[in-house]
Structure 1
């Protein structure tokens, strides 16, 4: 534990910690009262409603579109097609990966559910009815939904809109040292190789995507309420695409019902609502339904990985290599830093100490919706962790060594930090063995293994799975990371009013993480202002500083640092003002939480509230101090932060049916100091449930014609409380040395680490049947197939 956490936490008059500690979320009051304000709650005078006509085909040429019957329907105000957008120069838009994506299809459709036409009407019901009246002349074309087949010479070319494009290849990218890795494998005593699929899954947030656009014809200002995790980045992209002055665009992201990366991209529906408002002169609302969300918005994973690991017979890992085939769908819409087209996948070396590593990633187009969103992971680290944690378990099986023993033998040691990985990333701090020992002690690991042996003797199949992961979060510094040329640095403004109340303005956007509480606590910890007296403002580009938004666990590692630093700037300014009020030199003052006082005379001091009034009053201020008590910063992180953890999952498997019951789940996370442990635990709970879902049931599947088989919650299964055990949470605390408060971030850790723990547990349970690996999702049918020695099916949503 750190001294920060050992110190007693002072409480405000409301009983809340003035600083770090458990505190009920400030924002929950309005949510519990049903007073949240979401995009679909926005109602404007004269507002119209939009609906999108989507392609029933995965691949088809468009020979013509007849909109006359739809336009004649009473209540329809406009029908917009790709041809209309071409006249405005808006038929295609840039993606976050320097690709282009059709807003509305013009030449052909490239995935089932692609946007073809947009209807604007007086009600959403009329708009939906009008879709049925649009006649599109489709010429079906061969489709390819298999990433491996997409590279075949005779595969249909999906992106023939690109000049000279004759195949479906997007890029090849590599990291590490191939020669050193090959040499390590050539000299290894033991080599294990496995083909591992991380199938396509969907974030499936409670709230679907939508927007309300109002282009005011009088002022020329565009006001857009939208479900985005990155309001400022969206505003800049709209300005670049539409040619509108950026100061004339206001993007408002109100309360968001979950994002998980799904609400990072700009979707065609957002652009269509803007065009609809321009065409009609009225505000236009577009909200997708659940089927549209599952069919057409950003997916994740879809990585085919061939993973090899080399070791000695005693289990010392010497090298790892991975060949990846990444399915990016019909448009490369991956939200990645520009220098890293495969994201941070090359942190695939994980938490282990070995000298050589190499990965190669090949990305391809397929007739699927654009994939690759940073779904509750920092740019492909979830796939990387899954690959390494599965292959380590395969190695343990090959060596007939306990999987915990193998990991302990290879984990990085505290004295190795800061540690540079074989692929060039610098981990900031860690005590990995301590964290794993805590998890094993909580689980009663030795007793679990004894129980497992007893059950196997009785013909019962219990499995114990371990996952140890290292995440890389924060998305910075800007010299290394940008998206579309926008550097990943975040602004933060702080203003203390004359009465001592405060406002902190953020560039990150909450989707349920508790920002209004967490950031108030950070400022409270630095200034001593009670958190209930601090208003946190976010989600409005007219009222917040520029930043790249929330994804990749950026909030605390980047904007949390900015909030701490801006509060310290205010505290330093307050010192100068207090010195003037107390008629002493600034160096004669000492700080205690909430006040500056004279050294040796603690009774002579000024509270931060008194200083705020002085700053706005008649006090003669020192030279160079202009008055008011405020500050602003732009935080450019020097490095990522690297949270980590050890998860242990215990399952029971019925070999007759393949049914898996998750009996216990122990999660020990190290995210540095915890600002609000209650919020951390809540995020871990959600991520663990997410991991169980991906491991056991979630799958967006496609048939050979590219038809989406996971377009509803009848087909795309999500975990409920029935599938989740009572989580057993633990912690260790290793602060990040370069972060102002040592915090590392935790929002995505549980989703990163949990799928491997669940799969490892299931494979451990059925290993007596000779099973070493089976791909997710491990549905009962797939577990049964693996036991029977039959291929696991990953082309069926539910079976």
Structure 2
């Protein structure tokens, strides 16, 4: 196959045969195993640590504590948000599950057993669990390790025009306001985090196999933390069983495994269990939001005002561009033509696990999209207008693109009303509303929820965005062998998205060769160009663009070589897929395979052409790309039990040009399941002592096939005008758009019972309490 279209994923051949290679499959001679001792307290001082009994265990090779790392200058490591995080706790623990000691043993069972032999004396401190009280004068200071720190404040950040927004609110006919919680959720990838570190004391070379979404960033950070020269570090990210943002950060155990290998002289493996993954690795969301939407009496939306309290846990580790510490900066106004907007965000420390990953959303866009879509439904209820009609009155039209939103970002392209109409037609909206009226008469509660979202993906441009000072550009290197077979090396890292297929299709599209003749290399810093990895739907918008440009450069170089081979002027050649031929004489030409051979042969090449057939590109995107979609969810609610059943879900997505529709649809299916999980069941809750109540899949529920309906998909294609392929990206869209559709549907079902709003997750208990007029705060066992 050449070019774009449906085709089976190339990587699936090894996966369906059980031939994938994951970090836990790595076996090295003399390899040791490790385990982490974690704090049982959310907040406590460490008065002493006695490792004598553990070190005496016959199979234990090393025990590391914070004091040991402090001697090496490794007690603290930088985070992606310019904070610092303890590798192993030295002064005190700041969240339940924080790393306190690291045991290296001959097998993983002995390493785990030895944890019980370590005696740690803790002095418990009062925990700060509720972000709403984190800035109170009488609460403990969590980050007293920071010089001069006297409170739990992290940052204040704002976007938009506060004065212009306030003026529009003063003149508005109608204002709706709502406090909302987007609760803490977890990416919960199928494969947990893990690492194998192998330090060679003779060569000084460090090789690390890691479950990484960003191998090059991990290499650089490991160099900064350990002091090992970066060119002596090789990070290999083999097959990765899902990431969803969870595998962007470096975790303390990664550093400990490196030190463990340096101390023992042997490779050290660490793989966490499911409870460790859920309780201590990077979470997402946890935003307390207040939104206000101003409108005229006829439903023309005027302005949006937002205040957010962001709970970032004990260390600020958010994987976000450093200029935008809180997100919300791209699309807080959603898909609507608002005259002004203002958003202010305050970040605080609490005694919870650190993080704030871009879990299937580009830097807090899921929260922003949820906020505006809930407000639009509340405004529709206030005005007595159908939610679809209100959206039609305010959606951006195709003539308005490129459109600069109220916070200053330029949306690239779209036809929003057409997408919404397609969703309404697909679901049979008019008939559903008629059914709803009939069933309400029989005290049956059918709900129809609409969500329209604009996503902003393809993080870059580098002038706007960086991670720990590294601009968010990515590269691609393409080389054709003398036989015409191609090798593409990319800097982004797949975690199931099908990069080996999609990127081969891009090369095939540009060069007219078969996808079977393209090998895609990724996940190895010694064999790929530098880049910041895969998250925020960066792959196709950034590295896919780099691949396209690199292939175009190969094609242009092939033209020059073909001119020498055919002894004609380069301007006399014309391109047909896979071949340069003489204009007006199509039989006189050379295939790409023949040109590749000539590039490595004795043809007298033109000036400036140095032989071989290759091309590369470091792509710095001129702008983000802005995919969008219209989603409609249909639910049935049992008011007696609070049970919600999702009956139908229609998703219309416009992600620009679709390289492989099958992969696009798979991404949408997964994202929709994510959204239903967050809306109805997923919750990382804590009790008043800071104990995590979601440490297993018995407590932290994720949706299964039983919980989701058959998805009904439709599409539009509005190419991005600045992307070489017109592609916009799709990986996170469904997770951004679907929670609001589900919640709007449940609130629509409960409207006759007087329910205006309830926070996610809409578990049966939460829905039942909302019906009783007693909203449930399930995230904290305080009220």
Q: Which digits, 9 at most, give the CA deviation of each residue in 1:708-746, with x for residues without a partner?
A: 000000000000011110000000000000000000000
For 2:617, the equivalent position in structure 1 comes to 633
For 2:225, the equivalent position in structure 1 comes to 241
What are the equivalent positions in structure 2 for 1:595-606 lying under 5 Å apart? 595-606=579-590
Q: Which digits, 9 at most, give the CA deviation of each residue in 1:32-85, with x for residues without a partner?
A: 000000000000000000100000000000000000000001100000000000
Structure 2 CA distance for aligned equivalents of residues 608 and 759 of structure 1: 54
Per the TM alignment, residue 626 of structure 1 is displaced from its structure 2 partner at its CA by 1.0
Which of these residues, 38, 45, 57, is aligned with residue 41 of structure 2? Answer: 57
Instruction: Check whether the contact 2:159–2:329 (CA below 8 A) recurs between aligned residues.
Output: no
Per the TM alignment, residue 204 of structure 1 is displaced from its structure 2 partner at its CA by 0.1
After the TM superposition, list the runs of 4 or more consecutive aligned residues in structure 1 that deviate by more than 4 angstroms.
none
Q: Which digits, 9 at most, give the CA deviation of each residue in 1:655-703, with x for residues without a partner?
A: 1111111000000000001000000000000000000000000000001
For 2:196, the equivalent position in structure 1 comes to 212
For 1:402, the equivalent position in structure 2 comes to 386
For 2:541, the equivalent position in structure 1 comes to 557
**Residues 696 and 54 (structure 1), Cα distance of their counterparts in 2 relative to 1, 3 Å cut:** same
Structure 1 CA distance for aligned equivalents of residues 7 and 72 of structure 2: 51
For 2:363, the equivalent position in structure 1 comes to 379
What are the equivalent positions in structure 2 for 1:220-619 lying under 5 Å apart? 220-619=204-603
Structure 2 CA distance for aligned equivalents of residues 39 and 606 of structure 1: 45
Instruction: Check whether the contact 1:327–1:371 (CA below 8 A) recurs between aligned residues.
Output: no
Which of these residues, 684, 689, 703, is aligned with residue 700 of structure 1? Answer: 684
Answering whether residue 728 of structure 2 is matched by residue 728 of structure 1, we say no
Structure 1 CA distance for aligned equivalents of residues 398 and 518 of structure 2: 38
For 1:751, the equivalent position in structure 2 comes to 735
SS in 2 for 1:730: strand
Structure 2 CA distance for aligned equivalents of residues 216 and 767 of structure 1: 66
Q: Which digits, 9 at most, give the CA deviation of each residue in 1:122-158, with x for residues without a partner?
A: 0000000000000000000000110011111101110
Structure 2 CA distance for aligned equivalents of residues 221 and 739 of structure 1: 39
Answering whether residue 660 of structure 2 is matched by residue 671 of structure 1, we say no
SS in 2 for 1:19: coil
Structure 2 CA distance for aligned equivalents of residues 522 and 445 of structure 1: 38
Instruction: Check whether the contact 2:330–2:456 (CA below 8 A) recurs between aligned residues.
Output: no
SS in 1 for 2:705: coil
Structure 2 CA distance for aligned equivalents of residues 182 and 344 of structure 1: 19
Structure 2 CA distance for aligned equivalents of residues 344 and 28 of structure 1: 37
Q: Which digits, 9 at most, give the CA deviation of each residue in 1:352-382, with x for residues without a partner?
A: 0010100000000000000311101000000
SS in 2 for 1:438: helix
Per the TM alignment, residue 793 of structure 1 is displaced from its structure 2 partner at its CA by 3.0
Structure 2 CA distance for aligned equivalents of residues 529 and 276 of structure 1: 47
For 1:13, the equivalent position in structure 2 comes to none
For 1:5, the equivalent position in structure 2 comes to none
Instruction: Check whether the contact 2:223–2:230 (CA below 8 A) recurs between aligned residues.
Output: yes
SS in 2 for 1:766: helix
Instruction: Check whether the contact 1:51–1:124 (CA below 8 A) recurs between aligned residues.
Output: yes
Structure 1 CA distance for aligned equivalents of residues 775 and 558 of structure 2: 68
Structure 2 CA distance for aligned equivalents of residues 420 and 434 of structure 1: 20
Structure 1 CA distance for aligned equivalents of residues 141 and 329 of structure 2: 27
Instruction: Check whether the contact 2:183–2:779 (CA below 8 A) recurs between aligned residues.
Output: no
Q: Which digits, 9 at most, give the CA deviation of each residue in 1:69-106, with x for residues without a partner?
A: 00001100000000000001000000000000000000
Structure 1 CA distance for aligned equivalents of residues 609 and 664 of structure 2: 39
Per the TM alignment, residue 309 of structure 1 is displaced from its structure 2 partner at its CA by 0.3
Instruction: Check whether the contact 1:298–1:369 (CA below 8 A) recurs between aligned residues.
Output: yes
Structure 1 CA distance for aligned equivalents of residues 439 and 20 of structure 2: 50
What are the equivalent positions in structure 2 for 1:63-74 lying under 5 Å apart? 63-74=47-58
Answering whether residue 17 of structure 2 is matched by residue 25 of structure 1, we say no
For 1:11, the equivalent position in structure 2 comes to none
SS in 2 for 1:174: strand
Instruction: Check whether the contact 1:508–1:559 (CA below 8 A) recurs between aligned residues.
Output: yes
Which of these residues, 151, 157, 163, is aligned with residue 167 of structure 1? Answer: 151
Which of these residues, 61, 67, 81, is aligned with residue 83 of structure 1? Answer: 67
For 2:769, the equivalent position in structure 1 comes to 785
Q: Which digits, 9 at most, give the CA deviation of each residue in 1:402-442, with x for residues without a partner?
A: 00000010000111111111111110111100111111110
Instruction: Check whether the contact 1:709–1:796 (CA below 8 A) recurs between aligned residues.
Output: no
Per the TM alignment, residue 345 of structure 1 is displaced from its structure 2 partner at its CA by 4.2
**Residues 654 and 796 (structure 1), Cα distance of their counterparts in 2 relative to 1, 3 Å cut:** farther
Structure 1 CA distance for aligned equivalents of residues 336 and 627 of structure 2: 14
Per the TM alignment, residue 343 of structure 1 is displaced from its structure 2 partner at its CA by 2.3
Instruction: Check whether the contact 2:223–2:233 (CA below 8 A) recurs between aligned residues.
Output: yes
Structure 1: runs of 5 or more not aligned: 1-15
Answering whether residue 732 of structure 2 is matched by residue 740 of structure 1, we say no
Which of these residues, 699, 709, 714, is aligned with residue 698 of structure 2? Answer: 714
Instruction: Check whether the contact 2:688–2:780 (CA below 8 A) recurs between aligned residues.
Output: no
Per the TM alignment, residue 346 of structure 1 is displaced from its structure 2 partner at its CA by 4.8
Per the TM alignment, residue 344 of structure 1 is displaced from its structure 2 partner at its CA by 4.1
Q: Which digits, 9 at most, give the CA deviation of each residue in 1:308-344, with x for residues without a partner?
A: 0000111000000100000000000001111111124
Q: Which digits, 9 at most, give the CA deviation of each residue in 1:148-185, with x for residues without a partner?
A: 11111101110000111111000100000000101111
Structure 2 CA distance for aligned equivalents of residues 31 and 334 of structure 1: 32
Structure 1 CA distance for aligned equivalents of residues 631 and 329 of structure 2: 20
Per the TM alignment, residue 795 of structure 1 is displaced from its structure 2 partner at its CA by 2.9
Structure 2: runs of 5 or more not aligned: none
Answering whether residue 22 of structure 2 is matched by residue 38 of structure 1, we say yes
Instruction: Check whether the contact 1:346–1:359 (CA below 8 A) recurs between aligned residues.
Output: no
For 1:113, the equivalent position in structure 2 comes to 97
Instruction: Check whether the contact 2:678–2:760 (CA below 8 A) recurs between aligned residues.
Output: yes
Instruction: Check whether the contact 1:595–1:606 (CA below 8 A) recurs between aligned residues.
Output: yes
For 2:126, the equivalent position in structure 1 comes to 142
For 1:9, the equivalent position in structure 2 comes to none
Answering whether residue 112 of structure 2 is matched by residue 153 of structure 1, we say no
Aligned residues: 782
Structure 1 CA distance for aligned equivalents of residues 347 and 744 of structure 2: 27
TM-score, normalised by the number of residues in structure 1: 0.97
SS in 2 for 1:138: strand
For 1:12, the equivalent position in structure 2 comes to none
Per the TM alignment, residue 239 of structure 1 is displaced from its structure 2 partner at its CA by 1.0
Answering whether residue 75 of structure 2 is matched by residue 99 of structure 1, we say no
Structure 2 CA distance for aligned equivalents of residues 269 and 449 of structure 1: 54
SS in 2 for 1:705: coil
Instruction: Check whether the contact 1:385–1:752 (CA below 8 A) recurs between aligned residues.
Output: yes
Q: Which digits, 9 at most, give the CA deviation of each residue in 1:763-782, with x for residues without a partner?
A: 10011110111000000111
Per the TM alignment, residue 788 of structure 1 is displaced from its structure 2 partner at its CA by 1.1
Per the TM alignment, residue 639 of structure 1 is displaced from its structure 2 partner at its CA by 0.4
TM-score, normalised by the number of residues in structure 2: 0.99
